[in-house]
Amino acid sequence: MHPIYGEKIGGDVKSPLFILRILKEKVEELIADVIAGTDIFVVKLTVTSSYAINVLLDSETGLTLADCRTVSRAIELNLDREEEDYSLTVASSGIGEPLVLRQHSKNVGRKVSVTLNTDEVIEAKMTEATDQAIVLEWKSRESKPTGKGKVTVVNKRTIEYRDIKQTIVLITF
């Protein structure tokens, strides 16, 4: 076995990156099979160079521990630990994790922090999420058009997904 390029197979050298990509594709297929017909979806799937498989899931109706266990078992039963010595973590997407496209509609009505591709950050209530964009609404204090003092103004902005770097749900107490 070559120390840098990986395992020698049939005269060809399989790189570790190629092996990781194959493992990730296999895990993707296993997950797709087990969640087919449900509202469960993958938020994030990573396979590290140390063969740590991390799966973050979510659901439109709420993910349960049983859902995570089902996905975990489907992966474990179909991967050979003798062939792939791996560690596996299957969990629900946590607070503070950036939202993926499909999660925006689930979080309508919540306060979010949206970072745009321009690095502008907007903290506001997400009032709508469509297939192309989200609508944010927030209040600000602005100078009166005439006279002294300030007035509270309701701001509304539609932002297309292609202009968003990340969206994080904010927890308020």
Output the CA torsion 94→112→134→115 (10° steps): -90
**Arch. (CATH architecture) of 7-92:** 2-Layer Sandwich (3.30)
Residue 14 has what pLDDT? Answer: 64
The 10s digit of each residue's pLDDT in 155-169 is 999 999 999 999 999
Write the pLDDT tens digit of every residue in 30-76: 999 999 999 999 999 999 988 899 999 999 888 889 999 999 999 99
Question: Using CA atoms in the order 156, 158, 164, 168, what is the torsion angle rounded to 10 degrees?
Answer: 50
pLDDT given at position 3: 40
CATH entry, 101-169, from 3.40.50.720, 3.30.420.40, 1.20.1260.10, 2.30.30.100: 2.30.30.100
As annotated, the residues of the chain forming the CATH 3.30.70 domain(s) are 7-92
For the chain, residues classed under CATH 2.30.30.100 are 101-169
